[in-house]
Amino acid sequence: MLAARADRGRRGAGAISLNSGRCRAAILISGSGSNLQAFIDQVARHELALDIVQVVSNRDDAFGLKRAANAGIATRCLPHAQFADRESFDRAMARALDDAKPDLLMLAGFMRVLSPWFVAHFEGRILNIHPALLPAYPGLNTHQRVLDAGERWHGSTVHFVTAQLDGGPGILQGRLAVRPGESAVVLAQRVQAIEHRIYPEAAALFASGRLEYRDGMAWLDGERLQQPLVRDF
């Protein structure tokens, strides 16, 4: 790890970093891993300057583990059911992650609620992507709920993770217009295609040192982000 990154690790969340080294990213998954694949592909095409140092899953049948193995990325699987409680699972996961010395953790379809202990351990270094325009529609089944409510707009949000579920400061949103009569399946596919664009974009901002988390807020180029950046698709 080069000096600037080691410095960020020592000083904790929010430290200004010159980021002279490549960002070491760990990606947490529970399922298909299409967002993971987007990261793998962009890194391979030299469109995203970070190193994916580890992929961790809480499910041994997650297809994303195969995607990672195919790309030569180290994987760890920690089935959550084998642990007595949420925090003991999180502590085991943190030990595995700490071994890989990540600068950044990205939740990519990781469907476990993280304990406050875990979030504090990696404070300011965890991103999540959620398939809705937060703060609207936290939680599950977002696409159907958006259709049921007759919303005109939908999309996905990249945000910093805090102890509040789907509640951390927003960084980047991809937005689309809901089409009349479309199904939740089609809407989900369209939202996922957007995710594969905006998540790497947000990761690149963090990896370059332009984006950071400080005092419970997201900062971009030293300015507080009052609301997430929005990309229309």
Which residues make up the interface to ligand GAR (CB under 6 A)?
29, 31-35, 64, 108-109, 129-131, 156, 192, 195
Tell me how far, at minimum, the Cβ of 89 lies from ligand GAR, in Å. 17
Handedness of CA 113, 142, 215, 50 (dihedral sign): positive
Looking at beta carbons, which residue is closest to ligand GAR? Answer: 109
- 102 or 155: CB nearest ligand GAR: 155
Using DSSP's 3-state secondary structure scheme, residue 76 falls into strand
Contact 64, 55 (CB under 8 A): yes
37 CB-near residues (< 8 Å, 6+ apart) = 64, 67, 196
- 97 or 158: CB nearest ligand GAR: 158
Paired tokens of 101:
């010395």
Tell me how far, at minimum, the Cβ of 20 lies from ligand GAR, in Å. 30
Tell me how far, at minimum, the Cβ of 99 lies from ligand GAR, in Å. 24
DSSP label at residue 30: S
**Which one of 130, 143, 159, 196 is the catalytic residue?**
130
Can 196 be counted among the known catalytic residues?
no
Tell me how far, at minimum, the Cβ of 194 lies from ligand GAR, in Å. 9
173 strand-pairing partners: 157, 230
- In DSSP notation, 86-144 reads HHHHHHHHHHHHHHH--SEEEESS--SPPPHHHHHHTTT-EEEEESS-TTSS-SS-HHH
Strands of the chain (E only): list them.
23-29, 50-57, 75-77, 104-107, 126-130, 153-160, 170-177, 211-214, 217-220, 223-224, 229-232
Tell me how far, at minimum, the Cβ of 158 lies from ligand GAR, in Å. 9
Contact 231, 175 (CB under 8 A): yes
Buried b / exposed e across 171-197, counting CB within 10 Å, b at 16+? Answer: bbbbbbebeeeeeeeebeebbbebbbe
- 9 or 31: CB nearest ligand GAR: 31
- 97 or 107: CB nearest ligand GAR: 107
- 133 or 218: CB nearest ligand GAR: 133
Task: Return the active site residues.
Answer: 130
